[in-house]
Amino acid sequence: MSTLAEEGTGCVERGRLRYQQKNYAGALEAFTEAVTQSTGSLLLVALDHRAATHEKLGDFKSALRDSKKMIEEKPNASKVGWS
């Protein structure tokens, strides 16, 4: 359920707002929606945020899975890498 502050925002922004409010279950829902609807760099952003949310919820396997998916999707755009 969206709050008044969330109306008119996209999935990623909704997730960010919920994450800031420490509503991690709600953030996970929004970021998962973003992952299913996104491609390219927005998909990487959604996966990154969802991985962080999984970590906050103590679901480290899912966080690692999303992190690996980011690397698979765009290895040259990942935040961590070797020069």
The model's pTM = 0.81
The predicted model gives 12-18 an average pLDDT of: 95
Structure tokens at 58: 């103590």
Euclidean distance between CA atoms 65 and 27, whole angstroms: 17
**Structural domains for the chain:** 10-73 (1.25.40.10)
Phi and psi torsions of 21, nearest 5°: -85, 5
DSSP per position, 20-45: HTT-HHHHHHHHHHHHHH--HHHHHH
Residue range 73-77: average pLDDT? Answer: 72
Helix pair angle (40-56, 24-37), 10° resolution: 160
Q: Is pLDDT of 73 > 90?
A: no
pLDDT in tens, 44-70: 999 999 999 999 999 999 999 999 999
Q: What is the pLDDT of residues 21-43, one digit of tens each?
A: 999 999 999 999 999 998 888 89
Output DSSP code: residue 1.
-
Across the range 17-24, mean pLDDT stands at 97
The three-state secondary structure class of 56 is: helix
